[in-house]
Structure 1
């Protein structure tokens, strides 16, 4: 006949010194990328987020410009590439 054994006792977890770092949202990662002095391209933003080009452009115009009121400028380069960056907001 088999005898019952008690379940193993789990050790208590030690207290954490710091809470785990909060993961940045894709939108906040885009904002950080756009704040660079050199700016960024649609292709770089697509790689960062995994989004398609039309989604990146939609976030720029909808969320960043309209909802958050950021001044995102687009600069056409000599090689036909377009660079986007956030500039200082002009106050009236």
Structure 2
């Protein structure tokens, strides 16, 4: 599961009464972070399978925010080493 995907989800999320959520479609997430929609769809499917997110219409809820945060920290190291924004 790509840590960079977690990094970008946390960058896009906001907090509401139920927790952390990204109010966007897969297409909107792809436009915001750069990769093609198919890459975003595969990453989100993997995250959902791992219990990190729950997908709904126009929203992606982070249900495992501590695990997502851990992946974000891993991704920061990768991003600093490579200097890019990739899933």
TM-score by length of 1: 0.45
More helix by share: 2
TM-score by length of 2: 0.47
Q: Work out which structure has the larger RCO, using CA pairs closer than 8 Å and 6 or more positions apart in sequence.
A: 2
